[in-house]
Amino acid sequence: MLQQRSIPAQGFPRRKRLTEPEDFVKALKQKALVRNPRFALYVFEPEQNAAGVANIEAFLAPESRVWRLGLVVPKRYEASSVRRNAIKRIWREAFRCRAELLNLPGRGLVARLLGTIAPEQSLVLLKRQCHEDAENLLQQMTVKLQLQGSVSPKS
C-alpha cells in the first residue's frame, strides 16, 4: 500500500509564474536591474493607466502582492534539455525561498541566461554555479530595490 505524503508539496503555482508573452516583452524592454556574466534580472512594474497610476482594483487584489517569475533559458546557450530544466528548477526554488523577503506590491521578474555555462561541467557543478548565481543576483536585486525605497524588509 502507498503511504500518504506527510510533507506538503512546495510547488511553484501558476499565479507566481509569468505566462503571457507580453509580460516577457515588457520586462525585457527594461534595462537589466542586476546582472553577472551568466544571468540578467529584469523587473517590471504592474500596468499603469495614462496618468501613470496603477489600476487600484488590481493593486488591492490579493494576488497583486505576489511577485511573478519568468525564465528565459535559450536552447542556443544550453542545448541539453536536462541542463536547461535544471537551471530553471534552481531559479524557481531560489525565487520561491527569496520572495518571502519582499514586502511590496507584486512585480514581474524575468531571469535570462546570457551565455553558455561551461558545457564541460558536470550537472552537479552546473547546479551549484546556478544556485550561487541565483542567490547572489536575488540578493543584489533586493538591496538595489531597498536603496530605491521600494522594498521594506520584513521583520
Domains and their CATH numbers in the chain? 17-147 (3.30.230.10)
* CA nearest to 72, candidates 31, 28, 29: 28
Alpha helices for 30-80 (secondary structure H):
56-60
Residue 134: Cβ within 10 Å count = 22
Give the Cα separation of 144 and 109 in Å (integer). Answer: 14
At residue 3, what are phi and psi to the nearest 5 degrees?
-85, 145
* Per-residue pLDDT at 7: 53
pTM comes to: 0.78
103-122: per-residue pLDDT in tens? Answer: 666 788 999 999 988 888 89
Instruction: Calculate ∠ Cα 18-109-78, nearest 5°.
Output: 80
Q: What is the pLDDT of residues 26-69, one digit of tens each?
A: 999 989 999 999 999 999 886 654 444 444 444 445 556 678 89
Distance of CA 10 to the CA centre of its chain: 16
